Amino acid sequence: MVRNLVAKGFRVMAYDIAPAALAAAGGLGASPAASAAAAARPSDLVVTMLPSSSHVESAYFGPGGVAEGIAPGRLCVDMSTIDPATSRRVAARLGERGVRFIDAPVSGGVVGAEKGTLAIMVGGDPADLDEARPALAAMGANIIHVGPVGAGEVAKLCNNLIAGVATVAVSEAFRIAEGFGVDPQVLTRVIASSSGRTWIMEHGHPVPGIVPEAASSRDYVPGFTVDLMCKDLGLAVDAARALRVPVAVASAAQQILRLASSHGYGRKDVSSVYAFLSASSAEAPV
């Protein structure tokens, strides 16, 4: 992000609680700041990207946080993947100070970045998005306005819910086919022209050797890790809980990825769940 912003001519002040990360940003051409507040104080636009909801709340409202430094009237863009309720809460608290906020999580992972198909899903006021668009355009090719604040996160979670579930379902299907000795190449062609067609099978096929550019064909080097998908499914399931929406299939997928992570697949590509779902070799009563 920093590299791209600097390359496009933006002047960037950076802050990270990890000194190494901050130094790295400095190496890419950003000016290091002493705190989030210090970085926010002189800036026209604040961009944040953090690993969890509680980190976002701390970065904005904790000691030395954005809220301490930012001037009324300014705009904040949070590119973290967090739960939409947190985005709305942060926006409301900033709004009390006259500060504007949009959520803009990124989708597409490493593959998207390589292929230039990285998408930014934005929730917030359209005028605020227009103001942030030049900076966002430096980081992603495809900027989509989804709705009011939080809607970017909702779109990200809903998309990843489907993608995560599909990854496990495609893996289960191809394990069954393997058990019957059916050629996965042929099965892929059949499903690709039928009702089971999914982006996941076409671009992230879990069986090695079917789709050359898929992570499965390079030993499941990510791509998008099991742990990240597990986190996103967890956010979706958690949001569903608060909304009282039943999500049995998303929950089942989340738990399978959690188990895969426990057994060493956490940092492999999510499609490696196919490897985790191996049939038992033991001879035992069925």
Contacts to its own copies from residues 140-179, by CB under 8 A: 142, 144, 146-148, 150-151, 154-155, 157-163, 165-166, 168-170, 172-177, 179
Torsion of CA 1, 57, 227, 270, to 10 degrees: -60
Our finding on whether 271 is near its own copies (CB under 8 A) is no
Point out which span in 9-17, 36-44, 63-71, 195-203 binds its own copies (CB under 8 A).
195-203
Q: Which residues contact 38 (CB under 8 A, 6 or more apart)?
A: 13, 15, 64, 69
User: Is the previous residue joined to 116 through a cis bond, with omega within 30 degrees of 0?
Assistant: no
Give whichever of 17 and 176 is closer to its own copies, judged by the CB atom: 176
Amino acid 15 reads: Y
Give whichever of 31 and 262 is closer to its own copies, judged by the CB atom: 262
Our finding on whether 284 is near its own copies (CB under 8 A) is yes
Using CA atoms, how far residue 4 sits from 32, 140, 283, in Å, is 17, 10, 55
Give whichever of 132 and 161 is closer to its own copies, judged by the CB atom: 161
**Would you say 13 and 43 are in contact if contact means Cβ atoms under 8 Å apart?**
yes
Task: Please state at what angle helix 226-243 crosses helix 84-95, rounded to 10 degrees.
Answer: 70
Our finding on whether 21 is near its own copies (CB under 8 A) is no
Residue 123's nearest CA partner among 83, 163, 161, 160 is: 83
260 phi and psi, to 5 degrees?
-60, -40
**Shortest separation between residue 238's beta carbon and its own copies, angstroms:** 6
Give whichever of 1 and 163 is closer to its own copies, judged by the CB atom: 163
Instruction: Show the site string, 235-254: x = touches its own copies by CB under 8 A, - = not.
Output: -xxxxxxxxxxxxxxxxxxx
State the DSSP code for 72. T
Q: Which residue has the tokens 């904040």?
A: 76
Q: Which residue has the tokens 């939080």?
A: 150
Our finding on whether 210 is near its own copies (CB under 8 A) is no
Instruction: Show the site string, 45-84: x = touches its own copies by CB under 8 A, - = not.
Output: ------xx-------------------------------x
Among 97, 115, 197, 218, binds its own copies (CB under 8 A): 197
Query: Which residues form the catalytic set?
Result: 156
**Shortest separation between residue 197's beta carbon and its own copies, angstroms:** 4
Contacts to its own copies from residues 104-123, by CB under 8 A: 107-109, 119, 121
Task: Please state at what angle helix 151-179 crosses helix 84-95, rounded to 10 degrees.
Answer: 170
Residue 60's nearest CA partner among 30, 26, 35, 33 is: 35
Total residues binding its own copies (CB under 8 A): 98
Among 11, 97, 115, 189, binds its own copies (CB under 8 A): 189
**Shortest separation between residue 21's beta carbon and its own copies, angstroms:** 15
Q: Is the dihedral of CA 170, 51, 18, 54 positive or negative?
A: negative
Point out which span in 5-13, 15-23, 40-48, 186-194 binds its own copies (CB under 8 A).
186-194
Point out which span in 12-20, 26-34, 90-98, 257-265 binds its own copies (CB under 8 A).
257-265
